[in-house]
């Protein structure tokens, strides 16, 4: 877990996911450090660090994917935080999840919205108001 790629990945992970990203790495340390290394070095050091898509845009795509996959509430929690960290507003996040009802149906849209509500509550961002 050293080298230029890992360092760049850790820096990007810290900027985007903040503390939550580090908690995931810590939790992996005694069971699968190699998975943590892959998240940092490949996911963040190689893919997230590419200039072709803005951090805000990456989080919009990611919110769509995690909502559609289903069963990824822990990762949605991290990425609703990440979305806020890179400049998406609560109202935009909520609108993206409303939009997801068209493509994924209401159950997945509801699960994702309640995960967002939990994060907004923790960050003192409730109630969400239109801009």
Chain residues in the site for its own copies (CB under 8 A): 24, 27-32, 34-35, 38-39, 42-43, 46-48, 50, 52-53, 57-58, 60-72, 74-75, 91-92, 94-111, 113-114, 116-117, 120, 126-128, 130-131
Pick the closer one to its own copies by CB: 18 or 64. 64
Are the C-beta atoms of 40 and 28 separated by less than 8 Å? Answer: no
**Minimum CB distance to its own copies, residue 16 (Å):** 12
- Rounded distance, CA 13 to CA 41, Å? 10
> What value does the CA radius of gyration of the chain take, rounded to a whole number of Å?
15
**Minimum CB distance to its own copies, residue 54 (Å):** 9
Structure-block tokens of residue 60: 């919009």
**Minimum CB distance to its own copies, residue 89 (Å):** 9
- Token pair 């239109």 is found at 130
Distances in Å between the alpha carbon of 75 and those of 12, 69, 84? 17, 11, 14
What is the helix (H) or strand (E) element at residue 17, kind and residue range? helix 4-17
**Minimum CB distance to its own copies, residue 10 (Å):** 16
Are the C-beta atoms of 73 and 79 separated by less than 8 Å? Answer: no
Pick the closer one to its own copies by CB: 18 or 118. 118
Pick the closer one to its own copies by CB: 18 or 39. 39
Pick the closer one to its own copies by CB: 18 or 43. 43
């Amino acid at each position: 877990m050293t080298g230029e790629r890992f360092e760049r990945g850790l820096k990007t992970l810290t900027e985007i996911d903040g503390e939550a990203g580090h908690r995931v790495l810590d939790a992996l340390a005694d069971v699968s450090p190699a998975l943590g290394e892959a998240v940092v070095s490949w996911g963040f050091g190689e893919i997230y660090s590419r200039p072709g898509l803005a951090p805000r845009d990456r989080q919009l795509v990611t919110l769509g994917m995690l909502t559609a996959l289903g069963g990824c509430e822990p990762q949605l929690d991290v990425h609703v935080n990440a979305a806020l960290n890179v400049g998406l507003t609560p109202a935009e996040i909520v609108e993206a999840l409303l939009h997801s009802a068209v493509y994924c149906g209401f159950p997945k849209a509801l699960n994702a919205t309640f995960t967002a509500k939990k994060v907004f509550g923790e960050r003192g961002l409730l109630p969400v108001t239109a801009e």
